[in-house]
A and B are shown apart, each in its own frame.
Chain A
Amino acid sequence: MSERWQRSVPVYDTPIWTRPFQCLCALGAIGLILVLYREIVGLGPTSGMNDAYAWGIWKTFNTMVLTGLGSGAFAIGIAAWIFRRDQLHVVMRTAVLTSFLAYIFGLTMLGIDVGRPWNIYWIAVPWHWNLHSPLLEVAVCMSIYATIPLFLENFPPAIEYLYDRWPDLPVNREKVEKMIVAGYPFVVSLAYVLPAMHQSSLGALMLLGGSRVSPLWQTPFLPLLYVWAAAFLGFAFVTVTLFLSSVAWKRPLDLEILAQLNRLTAWLIGSWLVFRLVDLTVRGQIRSAFQANMFAGLFWTELVLLGAALWQLRESVQSRSPRTMFYGALLTCVGGMLYRFDPTTTAFQPKPGAVYFPSVIELTISLGFVSIGVAMFILLAKLMPILPAPLRLWREMEAAKSNQSLAPKPAARLGREQLVAGD
């Protein structure tokens, strides 16, 4: 049932233009049209933001939370390249693609959210940078990271695809590959330094919220807790992605690798929970967790979700049960996302009586960009060798290609609700 993943193989035997794919594209198109509307009429009529809650879900969810999910390239990359978890190299392509999409759309949302986008060009003028601003650090680091190292990390599968499709490309393939190999250590090192900086600065954003952020979240260690959460979110989201794609496209799971991912996720969550509780106690704020209010409720929700995740992950490492593995990773994602979201909105009280709830347009645009991201992942996973698979699948694909008369397998349909095909 468990087969060793050895090689990235495109999902070559399924049609692209499926009904779910069409739905995702439609959602994306609606989102894009609404963006146009937002640019014309302004933020007031299109969003639920106000002078108290000046930041809405475009920043707090699409940028601050979803790039946490997109930290797989950073977290798994460090495990594979620095700590020599050799087995994990085979899932790196999934990680760098999900990360790239999360970051590109996170940045896009940042651009849609700002009121005076024509002034963004100052980002190219370093002597106008206010280096004390955490948001500047985020904007600069994130744009560099997404457009240079993370983009380059996605080159190997793209090159394989291009030369496979058009073998007669004018540039010598060997040369290109040599260049990539030569530059790789320098590129991937940058791909770990930059996220460490901006993922922590995302936490630093709310430091300036001062005492208006509930003491259960507000701590000088907020940046550290944020980048730490990004690490386990990155691991868990890649695990979830691998599970969902394997089930959707009926590919075998490699329980060894998934167990290794989960073991590392469990360690990260465990240490994070301990650190957070110690920090809370040292700051003398542990009492705030036992008051009957919404903040304490949110705090315990996070803790219970991540505690349950930790339990499931540890259990799955022992039992190798795919269902437990999936639930562990999923709970990690939900709990971690809640932690990254809370200090920005639900645990942030800028003014007594002020409320924020995203408008329908805001939610639709947010969902639209997530849909485009998912659609692009599906498309690229079908075209390029992204998802890990046993060698057998690669051989089958080669055989199918060389023997065109072989009838293509019946298309597996997307969107099946059975997330886990029996354990």
Chain B
Amino acid sequence: MEITRRDLLHRMTTGGAALAVGSAVSAATMTAVAHAEEPATAPAQAVGMLYDATRCIGCQTCVVACTKANDLQADSRRDPLHQAPGDLNYRTKTLIKLYKEADGKEFSFVKQQCMHCVDPACVSACMFGGLKKDAKSGVVSWNGKLCVGCRYCEVACPFSVPKFRWEGYNPEIVKCEFCKDRLAKGEEPACTAVCPKKAVIFGSRAELLKEAKLRIAKNPGKYYQDRVFGEKEGGGTQVLYLSHVAFDKIGLPQLGDESVPHQYLKWQKRLYSYLVLPAGLYVTLVGAIRNNWKHHEEHMDEEEKATGLKAQL
């Protein structure tokens, strides 16, 4: 096969373009990998909650206190006499659930609320910072001025915590915000303040972690796997759990030690770091297309001559 001059030129330009893209990719990747971010750690002053399922008697005082402290409308839609929501929802920021084995031998209560992750997936998902993690306390809270109501936080949260108010023209994202107004006044969250059995207690995350480990050390074999859920799970959470039954049985998901955003968005972050790669790609493409443009114009000229009509772009 003969290689014409045009063919050769063509090959050289495409080859050059490929080379340029390739080097841009590798350069960007190398810089990005060099700057690969460390996994997030909890702020030094991080607040925390420790829930000990072995102490909880399921009285739901915390649920009522939470509703009052947060000016929520008690959810009695399932049972007109009681505040008895089936799940966390836009009227329920915390909830006590009962897990019971079919034979009734093994059972446990579990308290649900936002886990205030060390590296929250909802904050990573949020477009304009409607959900933010406080740099000092580590509390994850919602700002209605910045929220577009896309509900990506609901899709992203591994604990299914953020809830959306589905009715009306002015919906909101509702989740536990650690009673941040009470914290600001120097008070502890409503749920920990009222718990009669001290099943859920408030403190700094570091202290609570110590306390939890102390309890495990004092009572060998009492707690599931002698493990504190939230120390490392999903990159760590500021709400910690102790339980006598398996964590997944009381609705705590099995997560690796890496946070969801760190695990899954690593490459995304690398590829987009400083927009080096897209910019390099753009410059390369402009070059290649301008080059091919001449070729295309020749083509159009030939066509115009042959047809006598103005060529279409």
Chain A residues at the B interface, C-beta cutoff of 8 Å: 6-8, 39-45, 49-52, 54-55, 81-84, 86, 89, 93, 113-117, 119-120, 122-123, 125, 128-137, 139, 156-157, 160, 177, 180-181, 184-186, 188-190, 192-193, 196-197, 201, 204-212, 220, 223, 350-351, 385, 391, 394
Contact B264 A207 (CB under 8 A): yes
- For the complex with contacts A177-B313, A206-B155, A211-B253, 12 further pairs of A-B residues with Cβ separation under 8 Å are A42-B165, A49-B151, A81-B289, A82-B288, A89-B296, A115-B148, A117-B148, A135-B125, A188-B285, A189-B289, A207-B264, A220-B266
Shortest CB-to-CB span from B260 to chain A, Å, is 5
Beyond A119-B146, A156-B312, A193-B278, is A391–B154 a contact (Cβ under 8 Å)?
Answer: no
Beyond A190-B282, A210-B260, is A45–B155 a contact (Cβ under 8 Å)?
Answer: no
Contact B292 A82 (CB under 8 A): yes
Contact B263 A210 (CB under 8 A): yes
Contact A208 B265 (CB under 8 A): yes
Residues of A within 8 A of B148 (CB): 114-117, 119-120, 122
Pick the contact of A81 from B163, B169, B292 — CB < 8 Å?
A: B292
Residues of A within 8 A of B88 (CB): 51
Residues of B within 8 A of A45 (CB): 166-167
Contact B151 A134 (CB under 8 A): no
* Interface status of B309 (Cβ within 8 A of chain A): yes
CA distance A132 to B268 in the complex (A): 8
Pick the contact of B125 from A40, A83, A208, A350 — CB < 8 Å?
A: A208
Contact B263 A119 (CB under 8 A): no
* Interface status of B10 (Cβ within 8 A of chain A): yes
CA distance A189 to B290 in the complex (A): 10
Pick the contact of A212 from B10, B150, B158, B281 — CB < 8 Å?
A: B158
Contact A208 B164 (CB under 8 A): no
Beyond A134-B265, A190-B282, A193-B278, is A42–B167 a contact (Cβ under 8 Å)?
Answer: yes
Contact A82 B17 (CB under 8 A): yes
Shortest CB-to-CB span from A106 to chain B, Å, is 14
17 intermolecular pairs with C-beta atoms under 8 Å apart: A7-B307, A81-B289, A114-B148, A114-B149, A115-B149, A115-B171, A128-B128, A135-B150, A156-B313, A190-B282, A193-B281, A193-B282, A196-B281, A207-B265, A210-B260, A210-B263, A350-B160
Residues of A within 8 A of B145 (CB): 119
CA distance A94 to B64 in the complex (A): 61
Contact A207 B268 (CB under 8 A): yes
Which residues of B115-153 have CB atoms within 8 Å of chain A's CB atoms? 121, 123-130, 144-152
* Interface status of B250 (Cβ within 8 A of chain A): no
Pick the contact of A189 from B124, B165, B166, B286 — CB < 8 Å?
A: B286
Beyond A119-B148, A134-B265, A139-B127, is A189–B285 a contact (Cβ under 8 Å)?
Answer: yes
Beyond A116-B147, A119-B128, A385-B312, is A208–B264 a contact (Cβ under 8 Å)?
Answer: yes
Shortest CB-to-CB span from B167 to chain A, Å, is 5
Q: Which 6 A-B residue pairs are closest in the complex by CB-CB distance? A: A115-B149, A44-B166, A54-B154, A116-B149, A189-B285, A54-B151
Number of B residues, CB within 8 Å of A: 69
Which residues of B210-269 have CB atoms within 8 Å of chain A's CB atoms? 253-255, 260-261, 263-269
Chain B, residue nearest A194 (CB): B278
Residues of A within 8 A of B29 (CB): none
* Interface status of B168 (Cβ within 8 A of chain A): yes
Chain B, residue nearest A78 (CB): B285
Residues of B within 8 A of A201 (CB): 268
Contact B285 A192 (CB under 8 A): yes
Contact B10 A84 (CB under 8 A): yes
* Interface status of B87 (Cβ within 8 A of chain A): yes
Shortest CB-to-CB span from B85 to chain A, Å, is 11
CA distance A190 to B281 in the complex (A): 9
Interface centre among A49, A119, A125, A157 (most CB of B within 10 A): A119
CA distance A114 to B286 in the complex (A): 36
Contact A49 B147 (CB under 8 A): no
* Interface status of B113 (Cβ within 8 A of chain A): no
Residues of A within 8 A of B121 (CB): 208, 210
